[in-house]
């Protein structure tokens, strides 16, 4: 775990600075962005919203080097309706995307049984620069990443597959979770075919970790 609290505003700001696609279009000030992030969490606390921080920002509590412009939450659909300050730009049964001022937010809705399960069993308070924030644990993040991977493969989303597999591999390498138990836990939420795909992905990652740990022979 990081010893210096993650500054969510700085994470989002730095990701935008290095995103060349953001250099075109309307200018914005980074000070305003930092304030927006702080205001978002103040709003959630004032409304007494039950939420769990997930995604790239949550992962930064456990590994370094993950950039993200978005903030991701698990939240109840009813709770989301109590946040009119967030403009919902798209929504389906299990996911929603919205904007709070200039900040993009992705929501994993608890209508999905796995998302509800992660929020209930794998949420803990974590110290961020902004404040203490309800955030997913290592096991919770792994459940979400593994759950998403078979679908991403079917969609042919190579970029996200690479990001998600790297997140899984790095969490496995540094935190040594009991991944077999997590895969068994996913059986209640996924098809047998998808579980087999996840087992293959995990086996491949475990082999990569073993190769990395193997010391070269002395000459």
Quote the CA–CA distance of 4 and 129 in Å, as a whole number: 8
Q: Is the pLDDT of residue 90 over 70?
A: yes
Using CB atoms within 10 A of its CB, is residue 107 exposed (0-12), middle (13-18) or buried (19+)?
Answer: buried
> pLDDT digit string (tens) for 8-33?
988 888 877 655 444 445 455 667 88
What DSSP string runs through the chain? --SSPP-HHHHHHHHHHT-GGGGSSS---HHHHHHHHHHHHHHHHHTT--EEEEHHHHHTTTSS----S-EEEEE-HHHHHT-TTSEEEEE-SSEEEEEETTEEEEEEETTSHHHHHHHHHSEEEEE-SS-EEEEE-HHHHHHHHHHHHHHHHHHT-HHHHHHHHHHHHHHHHHH---HHHHHHHHTTTS-HHHHHHHHHHHHHHHHHHHHHHSPPPP-
Quote the CA–CA distance of 9 and 178 in Å, as a whole number: 32
Structural domains of the chain, with CATH: 1-136 (3.30.460), 137-213 (no CATH)
* Portion of the chain with pLDDT greater than 90, in percent: 74
Give the phi and the psi of residue 135 in degrees, each rounded to 5: -135, 155
Quote the CA–CA distance of 37 and 100 in Å, as a whole number: 9
- Section 73-98 average pLDDT: 96
Quote the CA–CA distance of 90 and 25 in Å, as a whole number: 22
> pLDDT digit string (tens) for 55-69?
999 999 998 876 677
**86 and 98 in contact (C-beta within 8 Å)?**
yes
Weakest mean pLDDT among 68-82, 86-100, 105-119: 68-82
* Portion of the chain with pLDDT greater than 70, in percent: 89
**98 and 35 in contact (C-beta within 8 Å)?**
no
Kindly report the average pLDDT of the chain as a whole number: 90
* Six token digits for residue 106: 């992705």
């Amino acid at each position: 775990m990081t010893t210096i609290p993650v500054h969510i505003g700085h994470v989002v700001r730095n990701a935008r600075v290095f995103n060349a696609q953001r250099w075109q279009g309307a200018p914005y000030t980074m000070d305003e962005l930092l304030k927006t992030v702080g205001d978002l969490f103040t709003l959630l606390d004032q409304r007494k919203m039950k939420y769990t921080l997930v995604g790239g920002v949550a992962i930064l509590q456990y590994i370094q080097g993950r950039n993200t412009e978005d903030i991701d939450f698990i939240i109840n659909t009813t709770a989301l309706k109590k946040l009119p300050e967030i403009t919902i730009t798209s929504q389906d049964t299990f996911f929603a995307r919205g904007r709070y001022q200039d900040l993009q937010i992705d929501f994993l809705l608890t209508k999905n049984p796995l998302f509800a399960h992660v929020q209930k069993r794998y949420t803990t308070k974590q110290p961020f620069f902004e404040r203490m924030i309800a955030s997913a644990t290592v096991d919770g993040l792994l459940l979400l990443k593994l759950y998403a991977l078979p679908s991403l493969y079917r969609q042919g989303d190579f970029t996200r597959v690479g990001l998600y597999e790297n997140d899984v591999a790095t969490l496995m390498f540094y935190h040594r979770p009991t991944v077999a138990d997590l895969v068994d836990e996913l059986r209640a939420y996924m098809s047998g075919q998808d579980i087999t795909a996840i087992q293959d992905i995990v086996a491949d990652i475990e082999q990569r970790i073993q190769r990395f740990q193997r010391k070269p022979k002395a000459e």
